[in-house]
Amino acid sequence: MDESHVEGDLVDILYSEKQIQDRLAELAQQIETDYEGRELLLVGVLKGAVMVMADLARQFNRHVEMDWMAISSYGAGTKSSGVVRILKDLDTDINGRHVLVVEDIIDTGLTLSWLVSNLSSRGPASVEICTLLRKPEAQQMTVDVKYVGYDIPDEFVVGYGLDFNERYRNLRSIGTLAPHVYS
Ligand code: IMP
């Protein structure tokens, strides 16, 4: 759906469908160059990364494999704590594989830090991260994020896979949620 169906719920459109697709095309090109001659396994984190994965993967002019994990992180309110539980593990044995984790957004980075150390313990050839969005706090995290679509301000955003109470994931663009929706 487009913004006209959620009018009043968004303060502002941060990125249009076109801006998202253009940036994903740039990232895909960079990734293609970096992984030339190497098999690549994309690992998406459900559910938020579904849209990023689908569109990023289709930008590649090469073979990529895709696998998924579902994890839940316990946190107070909207902030995660870094305590994570695996709800669905990978189907793939990643030993010796080049893994690229595909994320929608990194906020504190706690969930991702846990994920990277979990994946690294399985003996992959490499683990890197690609995220469409990154909030300021994540820039202080120790995990290196190799591919970032856009650095955004510390605001709650929805759309393009990102939800508030499971809504807005199917919005084509990314927008800032109006306070009246969550207060
Ligand atoms: P982190 O461990 O704080 O980096 O948590 C990242 C997760 O929190 C993301 O995968 C999202 O599910 C959720 N999240 C963080 N910020 C937002 C936001 O602005 N909108 C929607 N979900 C968010």
Tokens of 177: 């949620």
The atom of ligand 1 lying closest to the CA of 106 is 4
CA pair distance 91, 161, nearest whole angstrom: 22
182 pLDDT higher than 90: no
Pocket test for ligand 1, best of 10, 15, 80 (most atoms within 8 A of CB): 80
Nearest residue (CA) to ligand 1, atom 17 = 156
User: Could you confirm whether 107 is annotated as catalytic?
Assistant: yes
CA pair distance 164, 81, nearest whole angstrom: 18
Instruction: For 114-161, write each residue's pLDDT tens digit.
Output: 999 999 999 999 999 999 999 988 777 777 899 999 999 999 999 999
CA pair distance 115, 21, nearest whole angstrom: 26
Instruction: For 43-71, write each residue's pLDDT tens digit.
Output: 999 999 999 999 999 999 999 999 999 99
Pick the catalytic residue from 67, 107, 154, 163: 107
Total-model pTM: 0.94
